[in-house]
Structure 1
Amino acid sequence: MRLVQVLIPKGTRSAVLDTLDHQGIDYAVFDEVGRGDFEAMVQFPVPPSGVEPVMDELIEAGIREDAYTIVLSTETVVSQRLSALVERFPGLRISREELYARAQDLAPANSTFFAFLLLSTVIATTGLLLDSAATIIGAMVVAPLMGPAVSASVGTILDDPGMTRRGVKLQVVGLVAAIATAAVMGWLLQQTVLIPPGLDIRTIPQIAERTSPNFLSLFLALGSGIAGSLSIMRGSGSTLVGVAIAVALVPPAATSGLGIAFGLPGVAIAGAVLVVVNLLAINVSALTLFWVAGFKPLDAGAFEGVRASIVSRIVVIAVAIALLSIVLGAVTWTTFQTQAFEQQTRTELQQQFDEADIEGVELVSVTADYEPIDLLLGNEPRVNVLVGVPRDQEVPPDLAQRWDDQLTAEFDRDVVVRVGFIETQVSDGRTRERPERLVSPGVSR
């Protein structure tokens, strides 16, 4: 429930109160003696979704847009006509005036924004190098990226170019600063003993996860943008949703910076692509949701122009996402193909072992050195097979070549097979009687 306080200009008191009576709203009127332009102040309770339509009616009754209007969130309202108001305004979304105020509050001062963003990047970069998911999530609590992401969309919807420009600027400059911070930090750490010499960051799971972006990453960004918009529209869980938005942006930005620091252009490009795709997805989902929710500019006459601007902006962002999604699609397809190849290879070799039924011989493991980049470049898959053989049994000399020929024919592509042998011992499954322990007699002194 909201408590609205409005100053009534001179000569409009009767029209304003008649409007509230017509709306069935309980109100209280106080004489205004502080300024000469207003004759009274009226305050009344109304559900959150009713603030905007009631204020539109009051503006038509004579309330000027430059008059003071205060909207307060209330804990409890006792009124005989409260249930009727709730039935009349059943929606949950807030008014455009309240949305505008919240968007302004979410975009902090530049010094505060960049301080928290850089601290978040430092913590996230440390978490990536430590392979600590908890540290990375903890860093997201500090990141202030929800404000600019939401305020840019709110500014577009409500026709405030200044808010839109600032929101876009903070997002772009902030993420570039995050990449640069991670790059500098990664370079500095290489000059210390905190990182082992020759560390390949591509082997760290938390980093590898963000160097192979696929369509699931796009769903994360779209969901984060929608959740952020809903949390602002309904005033719940905005802090936790801000963490989700930061998770979609800061870790891949830090990954891109580490790729620059370690001289790995593939890591840097993959992280940067993921950042850009997620950034665009968050903005387009927030912009679309605010538009679908029915928010309109504060100036009703600007609605048509803003509508055309919103449609064009959504189309441009959607086209950009579609183009960048080619990369995501390629990674998704190649990852599926390489993993399917390894699984099929393991199944094929296990089937051959089962059919051969050689006593004592065991297929220990089958792995494939076959990455998505190998598929794109046309490199041959390398299959590593480890076989356990008893000591007294002869090892087939041409096993690797035979499997090479079979797998090449099966998958219609050249395959390199490497077979390793280990000596195995297998128990007969029977429990033998344990020998008694020899106990030395005690010696007393």
Structure 2
Amino acid sequence: MRYLEITVPTSRRETVLDVLDDEGIEYVVTDEATGSETTDAAVVRLPLPTRAVEPVLDRLADAGLEDARVVVIDAQTVVSKQFDELLDEYSHGGTRGERTSRQVLRTKADEFTPSMTIYLVMLLISAVVATAGLLSDSPAVVVGSMVIAPLLGPALAASVGIVTGDDELRTTGFRYQTIGIVVVIVASIGLATLARLGGFEPGGVDIVVVAELEERVSPNLLSVAVALGAGVAGILSLTRGFSEAIVGVMIAAALIPPAAAVGITTAWGMYGAALGALVLVVVNVLSINFAALVTLWVAGYRPQGLFDVPPTRKPTYTYGVVFGVALLLLAAPLAGVTLVEFQATQLTSTANDAVDEALAEPDHADLERESVEVTLDDDYPLRSIDRVVVTVSGTSPGESPGLADRIRTVLETTTDDPVIVEVQYVVAEESGPDTNVATTSVADEQYQKAASHEIDQPVP
């Protein structure tokens, strides 16, 4: 519920009252002075259902009262039979859920967009925390960076501005989003460069083996679903009164860690991985804006007045098409990554069955399967299957002839590409009457279609 205070010149008081009387709205009118001794202003106070605020204000504007001063206040409860009838009238068949008016929506989107100075400072802190969390492979620290990132307002202001015809709000939203992403990337490059110069290289030179980084430098289509959900949830939080703080974390989750991943991989000179993370950032920005724009339009938000709808419909459709086409183009490589991951999962299942089948043969009866892993190459962001690594254990040292070839033959029936199978042997020896110790002797076999070779090497 809302409580409105409308201030108009005394000469226009009757116009306001006529509109309210037509709507069946109860009100209180007082005459008050406005900075001089003359009483030349009328103040009309009235309670309204949340759903009624927008249509009532639009009717007043259509009556020529665009210059009226309107204050909208949240009301806890209203005890009035006439108000209950008005509430039923605007409940649309029994649905009394709140729908924020267009005027309040603009104000809320603007309120969630902080001043540029605060915005930059908070983003710098968020970038530092996110970079540290990714480098240390700490999910808790990465989540902390999302909590403090003030991205809810800028991420939604552009879409609200487009749909409601507020050019200033739209421009502000796009400007804040662009500046924010650039700031996070630049800050993460600086911090990651310092970390590298200081010798902090988790996981070795290949920095992307860090789990928190790996999932962001080679993104799949599920990332698009997350960002689309964030955009829809963000608009619902503004229009339906849900928790904006929680939704803000969701939006930050789609933007801050990938942007920090761009900086880290750039500092490490892994430009293919940096490109993958950058694609994820751009896709997420487009997804959030596209989802927010569509949700607002479907929810019925339009600029004021009948004649304002067609001019605003055109830019709304234009932005929607641009967002949608760009999203489809950038989602193509993500679809490729998703396909490779699906193939890897399928190949892992097939390899497990092939290994179990091979080890069931008499020649390999003394061996047991320890693990089967399908590894991908390092050609980020569009990776492909590199090899199948099978680890078996037994009590007899040396290779088991034909095992890798047997596994490879089965796997080639599931893929058109050459399959490299690497078999690692872990040999267990007794060091005492009651103790078994795994030795460091390993024999590897690697087979590729139309070629094969054997490698013997110690366990690192």
TM-score by length of 2: 0.85
Q: Please point out which of 36, 40, 43 is paired with 2:42.
A: 40
Deviation at 1:7, TM superposition (A): 1.2
Deviation at 1:405, TM superposition (A): 4.6
Q: Please point out which of 184, 191, 194 is paired with 2:197.
A: 191
Deviation at 1:351, TM superposition (A): 1.7
Deviation at 1:386, TM superposition (A): 2.5
- Residue in structure 2 matched with residue 295 of structure 1 by the alignment: 301
CA–CA distance in 1 between the matches of 2:287 and 2:52?
31
Q: Which letter maps to 1:385?
A: V
Q: Give yes or no for contact 2:275–2:381 (8 Å, CA) kept in 1.
A: no
CA–CA distance in 2 between the matches of 1:235 and 1:349?
55
Correspondence list, 1:159-198, <5 A = 159-195=165-201, 198=204
1:82 and 2:83 matched: yes
CA–CA distance in 2 between the matches of 1:422 and 1:195?
29
1:130 and 2:136 matched: yes
CA–CA distance in 1 between the matches of 2:405 and 2:76?
78
What whole-Å deviation, never above 9, does each CA across 1:108-166 have from its counterpart, x for those lacking one? 11111111111111111111112111211111111111111111111111212122111
Compared CA separation, residues 398 and 197, structure 1 to 2 (3 A): closer
1:245 and 2:251 matched: yes
RMSD: 2.5
- The SS at the match of 2:11 is coil
Q: Give yes or no for contact 2:203–2:210 (8 Å, CA) kept in 1.
A: no
Deviation at 1:291, TM superposition (A): 1.3
CA–CA distance in 1 between the matches of 2:52 and 2:327?
36
Correspondence list, 1:248-259, <5 A = 248-259=254-265
1:262 and 2:263 matched: no
Tell me which stretches of 4 or more aligned residues in structure 1 moved more than 6 Å.
Answer: 374-379
Correspondence list, 1:301-312, <5 A = 301-312=307-318
Compared CA separation, residues 349 and 394, structure 1 to 2 (3 A): same
CA–CA distance in 2 between the matches of 1:408 and 1:56?
68
1:31 and 2:15 matched: no
- The SS at the match of 2:217 is coil
- Residue in structure 1 matched with residue 329 of structure 2 by the alignment: 323
1:100 and 2:106 matched: yes
TM-score by length of 1: 0.88
- Residue in structure 1 matched with residue 438 of structure 2 by the alignment: none
- Residue in structure 2 matched with residue 440 of structure 1 by the alignment: none
What whole-Å deviation, never above 9, does each CA across 1:394-438 have from its counterpart, x for those lacking one? 854444344445544664543333333333479xxxxxxxxxxxx
Q: Which letter maps to 2:425?
A: F
Q: Give yes or no for contact 1:366–1:386 (8 Å, CA) kept in 2.
A: yes
- Residue in structure 2 matched with residue 438 of structure 1 by the alignment: none
1:415 and 2:419 matched: yes
Q: Please point out which of 400, 406, 416 is paired with 2:404.
A: 400
Deviation at 1:85, TM superposition (A): 1.6
Q: Give yes or no for contact 1:7–1:38 (8 Å, CA) kept in 2.
A: no
Q: Which letter maps to 2:421?
A: V
User: Structure 1: any 5+ residue segments left out of the alignment?
Assistant: 427-445
Deviation at 1:288, TM superposition (A): 1.2
Q: Which letter maps to 1:188?
A: L
- The SS at the match of 1:14 is helix
CA–CA distance in 1 between the matches of 2:293 and 2:39?
38
- Residue in structure 2 matched with residue 22 of structure 1 by the alignment: 22
Q: Give yes or no for contact 1:3–1:72 (8 Å, CA) kept in 2.
A: yes
Deviation at 1:102, TM superposition (A): 1.1
What whole-Å deviation, never above 9, does each CA across 1:51-76 have from its counterpart, x for those lacking one? 111122233445x2122110001122
- Residue in structure 1 matched with residue 70 of structure 2 by the alignment: 69
Q: Give yes or no for contact 1:335–1:371 (8 Å, CA) kept in 2.
A: no
Compared CA separation, residues 129 and 230, structure 1 to 2 (3 A): same
CA–CA distance in 2 between the matches of 1:351 and 1:204?
34
Q: Which letter maps to 1:85?
A: L
1:157 and 2:158 matched: no
> Bigger shift: 244-253 or 335-344?
335-344
CA–CA distance in 2 between the matches of 1:295 and 1:190?
49
Q: Give yes or no for contact 1:12–1:61 (8 Å, CA) kept in 2.
A: no
User: Structure 2: any 5+ residue segments left out of the alignment?
Assistant: 92-96, 431-460
- Residue in structure 2 matched with residue 439 of structure 1 by the alignment: none
CA–CA distance in 2 between the matches of 1:332 and 1:284?
22
Between Structure 1 and Structure 2, the one with more strand by share is 2
Compared CA separation, residues 376 and 25, structure 1 to 2 (3 A): closer
Q: Which letter maps to 1:389?
A: G
Compared CA separation, residues 197 and 409, structure 1 to 2 (3 A): closer
- Residue in structure 2 matched with residue 390 of structure 1 by the alignment: 395
- The SS at the match of 2:119 is helix
Compared CA separation, residues 374 and 161, structure 1 to 2 (3 A): closer
Q: Give yes or no for contact 2:358–2:407 (8 Å, CA) kept in 1.
A: no
Q: Give yes or no for contact 2:377–2:383 (8 Å, CA) kept in 1.
A: no
What whole-Å deviation, never above 9, does each CA across 1:271-292 have from its counterpart, x for those lacking one? 1000000100100111111112
CA–CA distance in 2 between the matches of 1:175 and 1:308?
28
- The SS at the match of 1:282 is helix
Deviation at 1:12, TM superposition (A): 2.8
Q: Please point out which of 117, 125, 149 is paired with 1:143.
A: 149
CA–CA distance in 2 between the matches of 1:37 and 1:352?
98
- Residue in structure 1 matched with residue 441 of structure 2 by the alignment: none
- The SS at the match of 1:419 is strand
- The SS at the match of 1:11 is helix
Q: Which letter maps to 1:347?
A: D
- Residue in structure 2 matched with residue 215 of structure 1 by the alignment: 221
Deviation at 1:3, TM superposition (A): 0.3
- Residue in structure 1 matched with residue 447 of structure 2 by the alignment: none
> Bigger shift: 400-409 or 171-180?
400-409
- The SS at the match of 2:26 is coil
Compared CA separation, residues 193 and 5, structure 1 to 2 (3 A): same
- The SS at the match of 1:66 is coil
Q: Which letter maps to 1:242?
A: G
- Residue in structure 1 matched with residue 350 of structure 2 by the alignment: 344
Compared CA separation, residues 355 and 323, structure 1 to 2 (3 A): same
Q: Which letter maps to 2:3?
A: L
Deviation at 1:21, TM superposition (A): 2.5
CA–CA distance in 1 between the matches of 2:236 and 2:314?
23
